[in-house]
Amino acid sequence: MATSYTTTLTALPEHIDILGHVNNAVWVRWMEQVATEHWMRDADPAHLDAYVWVVTRHEIDYSGNVKEGEAVTVRTWIPQGPRGARFDRLMEFTGPDGKVKVSAKSTWAIIDKATGRILRVPPEVAARFLD
């Protein structure tokens, strides 16, 4: 099973700010979208029904711009096992020139859907996303 997830996103007119490139808020939305796609693709179906994830922290470095019509390749992965209820997810957005435009680290916490409470990440949940 793949432990990383890669997809492509294209900058549409609604993603562009007054400076003519993808707005910072769009990068954050894309981060959540790609993380969710990775979870949906690789999680055990029983885990999809039992748990939900929430972001507790984002760290984003902007190294370049992406303009309308340009596509970025996005790769996300989890570099190490969880710490209690949390784990870090890394993400890179590479532009059409092959250069990383945005890199990010997000910390996510797992919540039990039935109780609405944070819990320690079960080992069987983490195992599907680690090397």
DSSP letters spanning 28-86 = HHHHHHHHHHHHHHHS-HHHHHHEEEEEEEEEEEE-----TT-EEEEEEE--S--BTTE
Q: Name the burial class of residue 13, with classes exposed (0-12), middle (13-18) and buried (19+) by CB atoms within 10 angstroms of its CB.
A: exposed
Residue 71 and residue 10 in contact, taking contact as beta carbons nearer than 8 Å: yes
Residues of the chain with pLDDT under 70: 1-2
pTM: 0.94
Distance (Å, rounded) from C-alpha 107 to C-alpha 83? 10
